[in-house]
Amino acid sequence: MTHGHDATDNPSAALPTQGRHPGAARVLTMSTISFTVMFAVWLMFGILGIPIQKELGLTDPELAWISAVAVLNGSLWRLPAGMLTDRIGGRRVTIAFLLLTAIPAYLVAHANSYGMLLLLAFLVGFAGNLFTVGVAWNAAWFPRQRQGFALGLFGAGNVGASVTKFIGPALITGTAGVTYFGFIEGGWRLVPVIYSVLLVVLAVATFLIVPRQDRMSGASKPLSEMLAPLRHVRVWRFSLYYVAVFGAYVALSAWMPKYYVSNYGVSLQTAALLTATFIFPASLLRPVGGWMSDRFGARRVMYLTFGLMLLSSGVLMMPNGHVVISHADGSQTQHLAYAIGLVPVVLLVFVLGCAMGIGKAAVYKHIPEYYPDNVGSVGGLVGMLGGLGGFFLPPLFAYTKEWSGFPTSTFFVIFVLTAICATWMHVTILQMHERHAPEIARDIDDHLTTTPTLHDSEVRS
């Protein structure tokens, strides 16, 4: 069984295994900058929502839906976006995405009703789909032994989630009540205008800077063949991993400010800064995760990721309290009192962010390794389901808190999700040991990069 065309049938299919093209650095640079800004646009309502709610008189659920629809639309189109990149190249798709997102971003500044804002938030959310475009694009330009680091560096654009948190409050406060050029209002409405201008500038820069002769792994491949790998259970397993390391990251990025305010009584500004200590390692360590995956193997890195996530979330999910023992004489005594303060929580959430940052790169290192000719379609599905995790997990956090009465149930959800992923991965490894021992037992990751038959043998795992 094979995965796509042989290199002799499609010359571009062999490109990832050849030496890096001189234009690869320009592709990586421009795609990373574009993704960082697009990610900031995608999640900008997390900060803009506060003045928007005050101006339009929105309820908390109405405000929540503004961010939710943006996250949803930023996930729905990742599969077709990745496939389109494989077929026509990332240069064209990236430029188109930047320009298409700039339009609703600008119009957000002129929204005066909840219905219009909800529609524009949905359209702006399209920005989140640039992720799989960049993954497929960079995978086509870098050799296999460098793909982990390249995709990790590109994925560090997740740090865009913090851009609005840092520039937004000061910009909103400093420009409130001011009008520029007679038609651009200050305050929160200025932020989407600035982003729309940046997107247009990046589209022009991408057009001028990156090589015009693009690389694409699926230019001559029929649609049915591009979708064929999605029948493999392994692809869906990778998708679940990504829900744990990326979907949960998006969900916690939006959830943690409220968590800190509600449970520790800190100000919103302090809560935003504390949340940044989670966002930054979960984004900036992605290149480190890519390098580690190249050096030690993606599966070993996933074991480390899941281990750290289980450890940190396992402690965080424990509710404050104590055990009450009723004695025969009717008296009661308290034992094993447990309470965790703000500083330990911040440190453990930081560890959780580090694990997610490393794990996000490791998940995507698997994809060009197993499916070098279908990075767009496979990466698109994995990214789509991971993004949808960011849409569904916050309501799940809220419902588990309501059902249990424990605020720490948020981390119980993370713990259970991680445990399922780790168990599925380990069971798969054991099955591969049984099929291929002693070869895989000696060094499974090295065989995954050098023995094609092992890729095919795990199709049903």
pTM of the model: 0.72
Closest CA to 149 of 292, 303, 299, 306: 292
Give the span between the Cα atoms of 8 and 368, in whole angstroms.
18
What number of other Cβ atoms are within 10 A of residue 135's Cβ?
A: 32
Question: Quick one: pLDDT at residue 218?
Answer: 58
Contact criterion met (CB below 8 Å) for 422 and 306: yes
What tens-digit pLDDT sequence spans the chain (461 residues)? 334 333 333 333 333 344 456 788 999 999 999 999 999 998 888 778 778 888 888 887 787 788 888 888 988 888 888 888 888 899 999 999 999 999 999 999 999 999 999 999 999 999 989 988 998 899 888 887 787 788 888 888 878 877 777 777 778 888 877 778 777 888 889 999 999 999 999 999 999 999 998 887 655 566 666 677 777 888 889 889 999 999 999 888 878 887 888 889 888 778 888 988 998 898 889 889 988 988 888 889 999 999 999 999 999 998 776 567 777 777 777 766 667 889 999 999 999 999 999 999 899 888 877 777 777 778 888 888 888 888 888 888 888 888 888 888 899 999 999 999 999 999 988 887 777 655 544 454 554 444 444 444 444 44
Q: Tell me, what's the pLDDT at 450?
A: 47
Q: How far is it, in rounded angstroms, from Cα 240 to Cα 138? A: 23
Q: What is the pLDDT of residues 139-161, one digit of tens each?
A: 888 887 787 788 888 888 878 87
Neighbours of 36 (CB within 10 A): 20
Its sign, for the CA torsion 178, 62, 395, 71, is negative
245 C-beta neighbours (distance < 10 Å), count: 30
Q: Which two tokens stand for residue 109?
A: 């500044």
pLDDT at 15: 39
Per-residue pLDDT, 258: 77
Note the pLDDT of residue 347: 96
* CA R_g for the chain: 23
Q: State the pLDDT at residue 244.
A: 94
- With contact defined as beta carbons under 8 Å apart, do 312 and 352 qualify? yes
How many angstroms separate the CA atoms of 66 and 59, rounded? 11
Q: How high is the pLDDT of residue 443?
A: 53
